[in-house]
Structure 1
């Protein structure tokens, strides 16, 4: 079993959120989080908090009890999304030689549908900069582990760098943001073929 990836960075991110322990409160918290991810994805970081509460099936007072400020909710959604990408990466490691490609599909879908969330922190203060750096570090450690696995298995070129890999993945996500998901998947398949050693093509 491969070792846990991005553990320390993920622990730092987890300390930024405070899910309730009581079962009913935890359900409301998770409902708000899921609704917020959808509403922010569709309307950006300034989307209506009233709409989030309505979709979650809770009152505004419940939303503000868990997330007193909009930033608190944005941070919680981002941490949750990053954690999901990390968990996907851990589950994929060792599952097949295509684990990296499978994770890149999930990563590109994340960037295509959640890009507005990151934008909420890019132009922020130093605290926001530290938060964005921690999110990128967690994702980067996942990608590094998967890339190294693929290179050691001989299915991806040994000279491929992480920065190049994620730059291309982000580019695919950006240029296909307004098109069908299959367009992004087809482009990624073509790009990954270029990553393979000639003997593995």
Structure 2
């Protein structure tokens, strides 16, 4: 499976690209905004394409041409304003969904946020971020794509354990970014995760086993 990673310069995206690069089952294309980012990946032997989530649907569809799956790990980041949250986390995600449909790509994995589906549990300090994730997820669920929505808890930079807890209604928790990247890789061709949305935190089950339980 050839996978387009949207958000390749982010921390989860970077980890996922290395996993896909080392994979025997998949190949990877990194979508980046800047030439210097593309150059850095090209030096690692990673195929890249330049495209911007604030650009057109057609440009994103062109970037995805020839791929079998898209993983959306992009985010505006905590240092930007609500305008970028709207343009990247919501509209950028929606454009990518539309681009997948336009390019004939059926498989789509979305990285969301824990409890984004449940307004009552949104963190009050970042409600616009949660609203963006909520509505992007809802649009994906209403699409014809074979989607999986992973809603990780608080993201940590500590080493992964390879063990997680995955369920449809986890109210709190944290997880290393490394384990999120491994969960994405495991979910790509796991039919049990098709058309499913679930929260994901550190736990006691091996990732492949935890995904079978959602």
TM range (shorter): 0.3 to 0.5
More strand by share: 2
Higher relative contact order (CA 8 A, sep 6+): 1
Instruction: Compute the TM-score of the two structures, normalised by the length of structure 2.
Output: 0.31
More helix by share: 1
